[in-house]
Each structure stands twice: as structure tokens, then as C-alpha cells.
A = this chain, B = another copy of it.
Amino acid sequence: MGYKNSIQLTKDKKLRHFLTIEGLPRAILVEILDNAESFLTVGEQQVKKVPLLRGKVIVNLFFENSTRTRTTFELAAKRLSADVLNLNIATSATSKGESLLDTLQNLEAMHADMFVVRHALSGASFFIANHVAPHISVINAGDGCYAHPTQAMLDMLTIRKHFGAFADLNVAIVGDILHSRVARSEIHALTTLGVNEVRVIAPKTLLPSAIESMGVHVYNDMNKGLEGVDVIIMLRLQKERMDGAFVPSEEEYFNCYGLTEEKLRLANSHAIVMHPGPINRGVEIESSVADGKQSVILEQVSNGIAARMAIMSMCMSGIAAGEV
């Protein structure tokens, strides 16, 4: 198997780290979705707990602040009965001159079991996974522009719950593809799960140069791109892009690439609207669409906890079961 999977999978092809969807076998993605569906009901029980990871120590290593993502990982861990340690890296020992690897080795020596890593640099979670002890699992909670694989899996769960299967679906991803770790992970997940077509809709300034090589069709015109699609995944427009060379103005961006009720009518009538949040109402999405009956944005949030529970518990049992 390739370099990435040689890190992510055990010799028995079980998941042990979850860093990127690129290259993961379809069977692993389907197993994640199946497990996540079984966890979906846990959140609705009177006692929202399963004892799968009791006594395990999960360390949230957030080098980049993200209350929302950290919260969903923390809730997922607690529903699995794990203990959670939130480390604010900026104020910890690394600020005393200790190297990142020394910090990691210290956490390993404290018998941590899993690192959930958020970092501004692409590849940071791979770097960490390459250096941890064999009993540690690393989960990528978003690194740079590279990958956000748990977001992609919760979106796949949302799609499967609505349509049952992936084979006939046309999916459009709209917005800042260039800087989006979400977009990259979605594309890998959608192509691996075998949808009919993946489209990316964006201005040229927000598209990576060789994006077609990922197996997608490019549209610069949103009206054309939405025709006949079943799933619309809107991306968040980072405020810091809005005043630069990338986007002429918030208004013009909304006119061309904001999802309005009018544009939504170009898609199939049963199409669902997704967004990883937090949403900028009136920038990338019209308020009435975000709150409308085709929106599944809040379902994504609920599905996010179940998907993360599935991934965490699979990684832990992968390590427990096997030669690594």
C-alpha cells in the first residue's frame, strides 16, 4: 500500500490514525459510516454514554483555536466515556523552549492514548503521526489547507442518510476551493465512495491550478454548475480573503457565488444544502436558504459527533487488535 496508508492502517488494514481520506480504501469509509450510524442514536438516549473508551486519555492538541471543532471532539470522547485533556499549546511547555517532539514524548510517557491535532500548517498531523509511540493514535482535526477528514466523513454520513447511496449523485462544492482543507477531503471522500460526478464551483482566483486531476469538473459560472445537482456543499469564505486579491468585494462575491433561493432552484428539487459552519449569512449563503427546508446544516453538526465517535473508537480498536 502507499505511503499514506502505511501510516494510517495497521498491517491487518485496520484504521490506526485518521489523517487524510486520500488513499483510504472504500471499505474503511463505509465501516466508518456504518459505525457512525449506530452511534447516532446515542445522542438521543437518556444516558448519552457508551463505555467503549473508558479510561482512555484523549488529548486535544489545538495549535489553532477552534472552539466548535474542539467541542465536538470533546463531546464525542465523553460519550465514549474517555477522559479528555485540553491543551492550549501556546501557553504550555513549548513556550518555555521545549520542542514539539519533547512535548509529545512527555504526553506519551503520561500514557495518553490519542492526540486530536489541529494545526495551521499542512501536514502537521502526518509529522506527529510519524513520531508517536506505537500505542498512540493521531486524528487530524484540520491542518492548514491540506485536510479536514472528520468533516468530510460527517458530510458523507449526512449525504448517505438522505439518499441511501452515493452512486447516482451529482455533488457541487462551491466557494474558496484554493484555501479549503474541507474541499480537498470532501473530494477524496466523494470519489472514493463513487458518486456520479463531483463539481467545483469557484472563481479562478480561488481554484488550485491542477484541480481537474482530482477527478472533478470545474465551473466558474455557478448557475451552470448547479444544474442537476443533488448535493450542494457551500464553503465558508474566510474574512481575511475578502479584502485581498482573491475576492473583489463581499457584495460581488455574494452576487456571483452566494447561494440564494433563486440559484437553489437550478439544482434538483430534492437537493440538500450543506455548510461546515460557522456560516456567514449574506456572504456565501442567503439566510433563508441556511434556514430553509433543504438545509441540512444542523444535521451535519449532530452527525459530526457520531462520525467522530466512530473514527475514535475504530482507531483505538485498530491499535488494540493488531500489529502496528
- For residue A51, give the distance in angstroms from its CB to the closest CB of chain B: 9
- For residue A288, give the distance in angstroms from its CB to the closest CB of chain B: 14
Quick one: CB contact mask for A39-59 with B, threshold 8 Å, 1 for yes?
000011111110000111100
Distance in angstroms between the alpha carbons of A178 and B191 in the assembled complex: 64
Tally of A interface residues using CB under 8 Å: 52
Quick one: CB contact mask for A247-283 with B, threshold 8 Å, 1 for yes?
0000000000000000000000000000001111100
Complex interface residues of chain A between 106 and 147 (CB less than 8 A to chain B): 106, 108-111
- A67-B87, A75-B85, A278-B102 in contact; A49/B44 too (CB < 8 A)? no
A313 within 8 A of B: no
Contact yes or no, B44 A111, CB < 8 A: yes
A4 within 8 A of B: no
Interface residues of A (CB under 8 A from B): 43-49, 54-57, 65, 67-68, 71-72, 74-75, 78, 83, 85, 87-88, 91-93, 96-99, 102-103, 105-106, 108-111, 239, 277-281, 298-302, 304-305, 320
- 4 smallest beta-carbon distances between A and B, as pairs: A47-B55, A109-B301, A98-B278, A67-B92
